[in-house]
Amino acid sequence: MGRLETGIHKGRLTPAEYEANFSDLHPSLDDHEALVASDRCYFCYDAPCMTACPTSIDIPLFIRQISTGNPLGSAKTIFDQNILGGMCARVCPTETLCEEACVRNTAEERPVEIGRLQRYATDTAMAENKQFYARAASTGKRIAVVGAGPAGLACAHRLAVNGHEVTLFDAREKAGGLNEYGIATYKTVDDFAQREVDYVLSVGGIEVLNGQALGRDFSLADLASQYDAVFLGLGLAGVNALRTEGEDLHGVTDAVAYIGELRQATDRADIAIGRRVVVIGGGMTAIDAAVQAKLLGAEEVTICYRRGKEHMNASEFEQDLATSKGVIIRHWLAPKRILDKDGKVAGIEVEYTELRDGKLTGTGDTGVIAADQIFKAIGQTFEASGLGSLHMEAGRISVDGEGRTSIDGVWAGGDCVLGGEDLTVSAVAHGRDAAESINRALAAGAKPAAAVA
């Protein structure tokens, strides 16, 4: 079976091609490279990179520790603020966060490689299974954490370190959430997401219950009556619909589900891909789906985005990565109708768009792009049941600055809350800060969570 065959097929590439295509996007620095990279840091006292980090890692300190031959000390500096620092080093859009703020950009237009240095330090600690934290004496308090993604894991770890007993509920077969099921395979190789989960859980005091879904197996009221506090890190499980004719045709695929399927595949040759692929969307998921379609052997891959390049949620680095892999990105195109032949996708009709008085408007001009597979990557929505009277706003859970919800004894964080940023690092910050708030509340003798109507 060759890559030129029409339709959606498996095994478009040779085993060697699959191996090469899905190798590590940014291999870890070796010791010498790390020393050279760390030497470029000015170790700013009032470091803008640190301000730009959602978890406020002391970046100048951890880089100085690397430069002095102390990668384990560097890892502890990182983990003190971000226990998922290893994954964040791989997937964070550093080009729009810490590295964009780096003062090296002013003179050289090339920042210190903060992300790769962070990976070097955290990988060193994990390779040596260096544990920096010991649990405090038991408090006798029990906390339920719903969702074993970045927010839930960060919250559970910080609570366990403080001596609480944590039960971590997750609807999927594996813990990890977005890190396990939603990140491009080439960004996190060698089953790193699960190795990081194991590293986090090794602190002890955390019981993980998989295959347990809120609203199906238990309600918030159940947890509130059985635990001293509850943290909700539910993520975004729903997917927006295109709402166009032909959306239900064979060959129209949810990009998030597809990325998850690829992440769980033991043999990438088992993952079918079209010859001509169109991805609808302009965010990180669209880029990840498009790049991986190319890496799986698709001949033509086109991203269609309804607005301009400057409006895309995907960073410029990610857009450039996609084009370097042969992905075509077309702007000012909105899906109008999916075309079919014998019940299968044959193409997509698109309408050209423009901004009129600040409002996106169709021009009436249309065109057709041939395709045998179409990925929907137009955003995810929060879907949850069993929340009782929990206050919602704009379709997300409403929280205060510490992650407290409208119900006493219940906190929330990550993408499921109002203001969630769809970033691993931001979710970690939410979970960590909520854990500190929970710890303070329990230490102050707060009453157990109230029953939920």
448 pLDDT band, cuts 50/70/90, is: very low
Q: How far apart are CA 335 and CA 340, in angstroms?
A: 14
DSSP H helices in 296-345: 316-324
* Sign of the CA dihedral with 331 first, then 333, 334, and 339 last: negative
Q: What is the mean pLDDT of residues 167-193?
A: 94
pLDDT above 70: percentage of residues in the chain = 97
Instruction: Tell me how far the alpha carbon of residue 284 is from its chain's centroid.
Output: 9
CA Rg, the chain, in Å? Answer: 23
- Tokens 């996190």 appear where? 188
Residue 447 has pLDDT above 60, yes or no: no
- Mapped onto helix, strand or coil, the DSSP state of residue 241 is coil
- Mapped onto helix, strand or coil, the DSSP state of residue 167 is strand
Q: What is the mean pLDDT of residues 439-447?
A: 83
Question: Which of 155-164, 282-291, 444-453 bottoms out in mean pLDDT, i.e. has the lowest?
Answer: 444-453
Residue 452 has pLDDT above 80, yes or no: no
Q: What is the mean pLDDT of residues 348-370?
A: 96
Residue 450 has pLDDT above 80, yes or no: no
Q: How far apart are CA 35 and CA 91, in angstroms?
A: 22
- Closest by alpha carbon to 121, among 24, 25, 33? 33
Q: Is the CB of residue 354 less than 8 Å from the CB of residue 363?
A: yes
419 pLDDT band, cuts 50/70/90, is: confident
> What is the token pair recorded at 342?
């014998």
> What is the token pair recorded at 18?
């699959």
For residue 237, the model assigns a pLDDT of 83
For residue 261, the model assigns a pLDDT of 95
Q: What is the mean pLDDT of residues 104-118?
A: 93
**CA distances (Å), origin 361, targets 83, 349, 354, 355:** 45, 16, 5, 6
Where in 174-282 does DSSP place strands (E)? 206-210, 229-232, 238-239, 252-254, 273-274, 276-280
Between 74 and 450, the higher pLDDT residue: 74
4 pLDDT band, cuts 50/70/90, is: low
Mean pLDDT of all residues belonging to the chain: 93
For residue 1, the model assigns a pLDDT of 44
> What is the token pair recorded at 157?
């770890």
For residue 35, the model assigns a pLDDT of 97
Q: Is the CB of residue 238 less than 8 Å from the CB of residue 380?
A: yes
> At a CB cut-off of 8 Å and minimum separation 6, what does 261 contact?
271
Residue 453 has pLDDT above 50, yes or no: no
> What is the token pair recorded at 307?
């607005």
Task: Express each pLDDT in 361-409 by its tens digit.
Answer: 999 999 999 999 999 999 888 888 889 999 999 989 999 999 999 999 9
Task: Express each pLDDT in 242-257 by its tens digit.
Answer: 889 999 999 999 999 9
- Closest by alpha carbon to 430, among 442, 412, 451? 412
5 pLDDT band, cuts 50/70/90, is: low
Q: How far apart are CA 369 and CA 347, in angstroms?
A: 5
Residues comprising the chain, all counted: 453
